[in-house]
Amino acid sequence: VAPGLPPELAQGLFAEPGTFDVAVRFAQGPGEKLGDRVSTHRGMSIKVFGVEGAKLPGHDAPTQDFVLASGTTFPAGTAAGFLSQAKKIGLTVPMPEGVKSAAASVARNINKVLNAVGAGPSPTLDFYGHPFSHPLVEEYFSQCPVRFGDHVAKIGAFPVAAEQKALADWQLDPHQDEDGFRHATVEYFAGDDAVFELRAQLWTDAATQPIEDTSVDWPTSESPYRTVATIRLPRQAAYGPDRVHYFDEVMTFRPAHSLEAHRPL
């Protein structure tokens, strides 16, 4: 946690400078196991250990979770919209992987056209068809606002290491490696550290920054993302059997694993 933060940023977990251990998991969105040619939105889940303070009901561990995803907004902006989308996603589970791959390709290509004509990508299309980019060059966002002590904020993690930025043009060929994202990430950590800045975008205007509709992008021209901490992930053997078992079968990442000061809103 950075020293010398201004009062509006020195809130909750970030009230005092210090160092915490973290566990981080990178993943694709679907809960089912799919080959990487079905390239969907990405996730970065962070568990901070050694966190003291009042927790949300039902959370007794000294931890704070931040569950982030690629894209600044969530396609379904309301609870009703989320339920509707979840039902639709559930209907796709029995479909063959080839059909899902084709759908992801269509979504990805339409977003390319939207970018080319200056319209900007569709969050819904990106949800189903994300570019074949390296997971460690992505920016990740809470998408939903959280309490930020006496304030409200959205949270983002931004890659800053030179070695990560050097991978900006990296693209997976899913026909060569169906587990290419994992292999590329493990290969990176075998030789280099990864560094992300954790930043907060403070809520400043109810008209342009709605709290109850997560499909609306909060303008960074009105409230930029400001750094509150640095996440340093040292070079390591990132995917061993013991670690996989612990991450998959023991540890969970949930927004409700939170300080009261960072209650999801």
Where b means 16+ CB within 10 Å and e means fewer, 6-34 reads eeebbbbbbeeeeebebbbebbbbeeeeb
Q: What is the mean pLDDT of residues 157-172?
A: 95
The yes-or-no verdict on residue 203 having pLDDT over 70 is yes
What pLDDT band is residue 92 in, cutting at 50, 70 and 90?
Answer: low
Which residue ranges make up each domain of the chain? 12-74+130-262
Whether the CB-CB separation of 34 and 107 falls below 8 Å is answered with no
What pLDDT band is residue 97 in, cutting at 50, 70 and 90?
Answer: very low
Whether the CB-CB separation of 49 and 21 falls below 8 Å is answered with yes
Q: pLDDT digits over 61-91, tens only? A: 999 999 999 889 887 777 777 777 666 655 5
Backbone phi, psi, residue 3, to 5° = -80, 160
Q: CATH: 2.40.180.10, 2.70.98.10, 1.10.3720.10, 1.10.260.40. Which one for 12-74+130-262? A: 2.40.180.10
pLDDT value of residue 108: 44
- pTM, entire model: 0.84
The yes-or-no verdict on residue 4 having pLDDT over 90 is yes
23/12 Cα distance (integer angstroms): 19
Give me 212's structure tokens.
């109850």
* End-to-end Cα spacing for the chain: 23
The yes-or-no verdict on residue 256 having pLDDT over 80 is yes
**Pure H helices in 6-59:** none
The yes-or-no verdict on residue 143 having pLDDT over 90 is yes
Half-sphere exposure (Cβ direction) of 174: Cα atoms closer than 13 Å: 17
